[in-house]
Amino acid sequence: MEQPYDFDADQPLSSEALGKRAAEALAHKIDSLGADRVAAFIAEPIQGAGGVIIPPANYWPLIAQICKERGVLLISDEVICGFGRTGNLWGCETFDYTPDLITFAKAVTNGYQPLGGVGVSDAIAEVITTSGGEFAHGFTYSGHPVACAAGVATVSIYQESGIVARVKTDRQLKWASAVDSLRDHPIVGDLKTTGMLMGLELVRDRSSRERLAPDSEGSLYCRNQAIDGGLMVRAVGDRIISAPPLTISDEEIDTLVSRLRTALDQTAQHYGINEH
């Protein structure tokens, strides 16, 4: 499916037009296949490992409408976005849509134990419980007591500490403000944040949007400079992405941004690009 992202386009669309075009691509695909042959559409609220692709505000509500009109289930993959990463408990809340199912993992145990799960709507639960027969869901390692104990403890901390609310009202504002200082760097062609997620696009020329180097070489170089400088970031394609802890302090945010700026400066110098 088409990403709701057009950085490489010769004439990028407005945010609203881009969201509409990307959503309509799903409608056309379902219609071409036949809605009776499409069980579900599954995607992340923000494409995480794909480069932190943050969609336009109208994209997800349109996707939800398209799925509902065609009787196609909508599955929100919240493995990365869930549990506060976008400023709400679930990414679907941030982008204002209601899925039929939610998949989650990772932050449900804060990474201390491997655990994942699926949340379903009342309508789906009713079908499962009333359709007759036995619903076999007890696999060998399902409900592992140690992993579940870690999950219960972690969720309790989320509920009692107000971490998610603090991300929404405080942390994401500081994070966005600090990271925004990198927007005018000569090799940053695009930068977006939502909650405690950030993705930036590396370019050789900001006006033409020419890529910094072939085969994602530039982002790998920048990532390695950041790691050498004591900062863990990820290179995905021509993008550098970061997802700091939800509990990160002001001082730590400033340190992170400073080290990333240094890595960008080193990368610009390596490729012979003048710094402003």
Q: Domain residues of the chain, as ranges?
A: 15-162, 164-270
What is the mean predicted confidence (pLDDT) over 104-127? 96
Q: How far apart are the C-alpha atoms of 98 and 133, rounded to whole Å? A: 29
Question: What is the CATH number that goes with domain 164-270?
Answer: 3.90.1150.10
| pTM (two decimals) | 0.93
Residue 243: is its pLDDT beyond 60?
yes
Q: Residue 275: what pLDDT?
A: 62
13: Cα separation from own chain's centroid: 21
What is the mean predicted confidence (pLDDT) over 36-51? 97
Residue 38: is its pLDDT beyond 90?
yes
DSSP-assigned beta bridge partners for residue 203:
211
Across the beta sheet with 73-77, what order do the strands follow?
Answer: 40-43, 73-77, 101-104, 117-120
Q: Residue 150: what pLDDT?
A: 98
Q: Residue 56: what pLDDT?
A: 98
Percent of the chain with pLDDT over 70: 99
What is the mean predicted confidence (pLDDT) over 20-49? 98
Q: Which CATH architecture has domain 15-162?
A: 3-Layer(aba) Sandwich (3.40)
Residue 149: is its pLDDT beyond 80?
yes
Sequence-ordered list of residues with C-beta below 8 angstroms from that of 232, at least 6 positions apart, any chain: 226
Tell me whether strands 101-104 and 73-77 are parallel, antiparallel or unpaired: parallel
Res. 164 pLDDT band, cuts 50 70 90: very high
Percent of the chain with pLDDT over 90: 89
| Residue 226 vs residue 143, higher pLDDT | 226
Tell me whether strands 73-77 and 40-43 are parallel, antiparallel or unpaired: parallel
CA angle, residues 232, 234, 236, in degrees to nearest 5: 170
Q: Residue 276: what pLDDT?
A: 54
Q: Which residue has the tokens 């021509």?
A: 238
- Give me the torsion for CA of 149, 152, 157, 163, rounded to 10°: 120
Among 136-145, 180-189, 233-242, the least confident range: 136-145
Res. 132 pLDDT band, cuts 50 70 90: confident
